[in-house]
Structures are given as structure tokens and as C-alpha cells.
Amino acid sequence: MENTLSHLKHIDSDKGNIIKGLQLIQKNEGYLSDRALEICSHYFSVPLVEIQGIVTFYSQFKRTKPGKYQISICDGTACHLKGATLILDWIATELNIGAGETDSTGLFSLETVACLGCCSLAPVMSVNGDIFGNLSRKGVLQILKRYKRQG
Amino acid sequence: MHISEIRVGVSSCGLAAGANKVLKQLQERTDIPVVGVGCIGHCYAEPLVEIVTDDFSVLYGNVEANETDLSEILAGNDYKRLILRPERTQRENLRLTSIIGKFEPIDLSAYISYGGFKGLKKALHMAPEYLVQEITQSQLRGRGGGGFPTGVKWSLLAQKDSTDKVIICNADEGDPGAFMDRSLMESLPYQILEGMLIAAYATGATQLYIYCRAEYPLAIRNLGSAINAIKSNGLNYIQGNALDIQIKEGAGAFVCGEETALIHSLEGKRGMPRFRPPYPTDSGYNGLPSMISNVETFANVPVIVRDGAEKFAAIGTEGGRGTKLFALAGDVKYPGLVEVPMGITLGEIIYNIGGAEPGTIKAVQTGGPSGGCIPAELFDTPVDYDSLRSLGAIMGSGGLIVIGNNRCMVETARYFLDFTHKESCGKCTFCRVGSKRMFEVLERITGGTGMPEDITFLENMGQKVRAGSLCGLGSTAPNPVLATLRFFRSEFEAHVLQRQCPAMQCASLSDVVLHHEACTECGRCMKICPVNAVTSDWTIDNSVCTRCNSCVEACPQHTISRAPGGSGYRSGSSTNKEAI
């Protein structure tokens, strides 16, 4: 709890900073726990329900602990046309998880995102922010293997 | 040959293709300055390296960080040399992005040496009223999609009698398929900030914000560095006051691109749109008079002020002045970012610049999920705000997704509705429920269980969602469906009446067939199939097959193709009316 609060120390308790505060906590802790929401509610002096409302509104906020490697599959228009759903399928089958879930080892979590802005390299995915483009099934499996080996 | 500088494009798309490795290895190999520069828009050839000598410069494309590539390039050989196609260069008109890719984006002195801050300097010698007039005369219209005259916005804010006024740069580029603003923020952060400072001087604004989506980390980083450099060099002093510029990160909500929703999000609330009036220029951020413009709009301002309004207004057509950035993606040979004069035809962008083969393209989607598709027969339409709107599409922010003959239009429409119904904030019933119902019907049609009355339902509901929604998201959400129904009605009818997908893309309405006569039994299809649907007697078990097309693409003899079939398929021309 002390730690969570310390992330907020750098910003004002002004209501306009709620989103920023939540982003800071998520950046440091990987997700927003129930406790984190309560702390925010106290810090910004707003009812917990309001914090919940903000957290559920924005797709960036995660309420479950993510894996060590966060796989984001771009499902923007260009990527969708070029087979983003297949890539999601392949990875989901390989790791045995669906979008929005973390695998049992806690190594990978999977999500789809609206657009990573690399449309000319479609289809694209990112692992912890590193972008991989022009994906094929073989390429995707190789990327997963590499991260698995790194552990 | 004396190399004075080596430039490597290190925008997001370059980095995704491995530009960082190329940059680092070049730096290790040579004492010549190697700089990471912005994106010049030739995304099909990333990573890009430019060798600059005293007299000329040579561009290399698809450079890999290996021994051969790097040593050949440093020796100045023609290996992997990228000759820019005249089909593209003759049509481009680089004004907004004329200095892109020539220097490190966050290097302030380099920006100044390329003519940066000349616009601001000139502006500060002009009376604010005159400056507003100059922007009005340039006929610049908002580049975010709405196309509202920028000069009018400026004068509305300037007229407000308030000591505190706000200028917000809308950098929440949420349209899937659009990356113009990302590229500008990553490559020309100073030009955007200069435009904002000029606007602040002209309108008397005191607070400046940039609302950027969190999915663009590099853009946020570059803008942040640029703001710090501007502050430490005192360039933010306007009429004796030091203006503060802040970046606020979005948190992943498409609707926040709408101005009233954006303001709520800036205030730290749920990003729900509200009724207008009051317009933001009357009551915006924290109740203060506020003006919101798009990234590209601000980036145009320094160039207009520096070169004069007449020069800008001389380009383009009645329906749109100046140049426009387009993000070209989809089924084209040369995807990328292009700056072209308004009034150029769609065909020139897609066939000449994009290198698409005429005859292989059936449509282009403009304006992302808020826009519509335009069929290839109408590709001689000039690109400007009014011409596109007359076709039921919109200019949008400039994303162009080219759709080839082998793509299903119904599936494309379903994809856009999938996006918008998920992104609906839920405030208006028609948008929240109506777009979801439309999506479900489209799911049914592409799933092979569509009914004839579905088409009329989509048209009716589309009109209602359009009329019954408060903000831009809801009122434009049916556009992709309505435009597709207008131009590709036969594809819808084929899906629901004949239960066939003409493009053979929809999984429930197509099979994968291996033509054994020409097959050499090389086994590539077996190896690549993720679900082992290729049987030992060289047929494809369509009950297992997921229609992923891996084998179709892998087959060297082209013996595997898509054919009518699937669970929902009915052969012949008999309709399924009896069946219902």
C-alpha cells in the first residue's frame, strides 16, 4: 500500500489528474488492484464508484495481473484485412489463452489493440512494446519460442 | 565520395522493421555522424538509410543490419539503392513535410537551421487580428475530419473576453488505419508546437495542452523533449508571458477524439460527449473558452504564416485548400505516408503513388470507421472535403485503406461495426444498442445465416443510429454499412439470397480446395497447416479447416484455391426464402 501511494506523490490530488494517477500506478504495478482503486479514491477525494467508472471506461486500464510478456495484436483496419484474427487464433491456440487473459505460467498475456499505427507493415503485433511486422504463422511461433526461451 | 552524414529513419514503423539495429551498427562501423531521423513516408522500404555527401544524397531501402548490407552502403555501391518512383514524386507536393527526415526530430538547432520558428517570428511581428485574418484567408480547414474552417475557430476564441483561454491539440488519432499524426509528432514535434504557439498569440490563449493517445509512446517522448527544449530556450514567451505546454495521455477510448469527450477526459473524467451548445469556444476545458484542433492543422500553421496565405490557398480546389497527408495502406504495393495537393484524384493516389494494379482493386475506405467505401469506378473523384462527402464517405483524417478484389465488402463492413459498437460510450441509445444490433446482423450475414430482410433492417437502423446519436462517433457509425450497401449491394444479396461470398473470404460461405492434377505433392501445405486439415490423399478436410489461407499462399504450384462452399452455402441460384 505504501508503494502504491508513493507513485501518486509526484502529482497533485487535483481531480483532473485521476487518469494520470491510475496510469502511473498501472505503469509501476502492471495492473490496478482493488486496493489501488481504494487508494486513488482517498487520494483524489472522490467516491470509489467514480474511480471504478473511469477505470472501466478506458480500455487501457487492466484489472488483472498481466504476464511477464504482454502480447498486443493489432486489429486495426489494415491488419484486420491482412489476417489479424488468424494471428490471434494461432497465438491463442499456442498459449491456450484467449484475448484479455494471462497464461497459467504467468509468462504471457494476450490482448488485441485498436491500432499500433504501423499499418504499412500489417499484420503487426507488439510484445512489451517491441513491434513485429509482416507476420506469418511461422514468424509468430518463432517469436513466441524466443520469449519462452528467455523465460 | 565524401560522406558528410548518414541518416537512418527511426520512426515507429522504421523501428518495427529493425532500424535501431541498423543505426547502432552503422555508428559502430564509422566515424561519420549517423543520425536517427524522422519518417519520410516510404514505409514499404523500411528500414531506410540515406547517405549524404557534399553534392548529393543516396537513399537505400530495406537495409538489414548485416555485414553485406552495411559495407556495400558505406562503399556507396548501388546495392539496395532505392530509386524513388517518378509516379510518386511527380504527384507529391511537400510543403507540410518538406523538412521531414533531414534531421533528428528533437534537435532544436537543426529544426531552426531548416527554417523552423521563422513562422512564429513573423507572427510575433503581426497584430493578432491580422494573423487570424491570414489563417482565414488561407482557407485552411480542420484536418481531423470535420473540415471546419480553422480561421473561424481562431476568431471565435480571439473574440472571447477572458484572461484564461485554452488551446488543445487533438492527438488522439484513433482511426484504425491512420498514422499521419503519429508520423508528424514523431518526426516534426517542433513544427506542431510552433503552430500551437502562433495560435496562442493570435487568440490570446494562456494554457496549451496536447491530448495524445497512449499507444504512441515515441510520439509522447519526442513531443516531451521538444517542449522541454522550447522552454529552456525561452521560445514559449509570448508577449512577455511564459506559456506552459502540457501533454496529457489518453487511456484508450476512440470516442475521446470527439471534442467534448476529449475535454471530459482531459478533466480526468469518463470521456463521454455532451450536447453542443455550449461550444468549447464558449465553455470548454474547466469551463474556460477552449479551441481544439488536430495535429496536422497545427503543423500547417507555421508554413502558412511563413510563406503567406496566398501560397497555401493557391493549392487545391474549392472543396479544400492546401496539401493533405494521407496514410496509404491495404492492398497496395507501396504503402506509406504521402503529402499531395487537395484535388488529386483517388486513382492517382492508389494506382500511381500506391502502385496498385488497375483491375485488382475494388474499393477504398476513406475516413476509417466513420467514413465509407468508394468503388473503383469512381476513382476519378478529386480528393477534397466536399467531393467525398457527396459520395457518402468523408475525408476523415486521411487514412486510405485500399481493398482488393479478393476481400469481402460485407466482412469489411462487419469489421468497422465491430469496432464502433465496442467503442460506443453508451450514452445514446441508438448508438449503444442500434450499432450492436447492426453488428449482430452483419455477423449473421457473414456467418452464412443471413435473411433477406436483413438488408432492409440495416438500412433502416443505419438511418436511425445516424439521426439518434449525439456525437460524431454514433452519427457516422453506420457510414461503412450504408456506403457498402449503396455501392456493393450485390455482395450483400449474394450472401443472404444465394448464401455465397463472391470474394470467397467468409469462412462459413467458402471452402478450400486442392486441385490434385497440378499438385507435385511437395507437402508444403501439410507442413504449414495449423490444424492438420490436409489429408494423406491430398484433399482438404473442410470440416477441420479454419480458412486461414496459409496453404493457399504457401503452395508453389497455385493448386490450392478458395471455392464456394462452407456450412452456410447453398448451391445454384435458388434463394433460401423457402428455407426461412
- From the list B148, B291, B278, the residue with the least C-alpha distance to B211 is B291
Residue contact A116–B215, C-beta within 8 A: yes
Contact list in A for residue B174 (CB cut-off 8 A) is: 114-115
Quote the CA–CA distance of A29 and B299 in Å, as a whole number.
Answer: 36
Rounded to a whole number of angstroms, the distance between the first and last alpha carbons of chain A is 29
pLDDT at B166 over 70: yes
Q: How far is B550 from chain A (nearest CA, A)?
A: 8
The alpha-carbon gap from A113 to the nearest alpha carbon of chain B, in Å, equals: 9
CATH code for the domain defined by B317-404: 3.10.20.600
CB-CB neighbors (< 8 A) of B425 in chain A? 57
Q: Which residues of A touch B215 (CB under 8 A)?
A: 113-117
What does the pLDDT read at residue B532? Answer: 83
Helix (H, G, I), strand (E, B) or coil at B368: helix
Q: What share of chain A is helix, strand, coil (3-state, %, to 5)?
A: 50, 15, 35
Q: What is the CATH number of domain B409-496?
A: 1.20.1440.230
Structural domain spans, chain A = 2-57, 69-150
Rounded Cα distance, B572 and B550, in Å: 28
- The strand pairing partners of B326, in sequence order, are B338
List the single residue in A19, A77, A131 with the smallest CB-CB distance to B268: A19
Domain B108-311 is found in CATH 3.40.50.11540: yes
Q: Which superfamily does B3-84 belong to?
A: Glutaredoxin (3.40.30.10)
The pTM for the full model equals: 0.92
Mean pLDDT taken over chain B: 92
Instruction: Answer yes or no: is pLDDT of B271 > 80.
Output: yes
* pLDDT number for residue B5: 94
Give residue B196's identity as a one-letter amino acid code. Answer: M
Helix, coil or strand: residue A59: coil
Is pLDDT of B577 > 60?
no
What is the tens place of the pLDDT at every residue in B363-377?
Answer: 999 988 889 999 999
Flag whether the ipTM exceeds 0.95: no
Q: Please give the distance of CA B361 from its chain centroid, rounded to a whole number.
A: 19
Domain ranges of chain B: 3-84, 108-311, 317-404, 409-496, 507-564
Cα of B118 to nearest chain A Cα, Å: 31
pLDDT tens across B72-96, in order?
999 888 889 999 999 999 999 999 9
pLDDT band (50, 70, 90) for residue B177: confident
CATH fold of the domain at A69-150:
Glutaredoxin (3.40.30)
What chain A residue is nearest to B17 in terms of C-alpha separation? Answer: A133
* Minimal C-alpha gap between A75 and chain B (Å): 8
CATH architecture of the region B507-564: 2-Layer Sandwich (3.30)
Please report the pLDDT score of residue B579 as a whole number: 39
**Residues in chain A closer than 8 A to B44 (CB atoms):** 120
Partners of A18 on chain B (C-beta within 8 Å) are 268-269
Name the residue facing B251 among A14, A23, A113 (closest C-beta). Answer: A23
Which residues in chain B have Cβ-Cβ distances shorter than 8 Å to A24? none
* B294: enclosing H helix or E strand: strand B290-294
List the single residue in A18, A61, A117 with the smallest CB-CB distance to B268: A18
Residue B515 is predicted with a pLDDT of 92
Extract the C-alpha cell encoding A109. 498475456
A77, B173: Cβ pair inside 8 Å?
no
Relative to beta strand B323-330, strand B241-242 is unpaired
Nearest chain A CA: its distance from B553 CA (Å)? 11
**Residue pointed to by grid coordinates 530556450:** B233
Q: Say what the pLDDT of residue A2 is.
A: 61
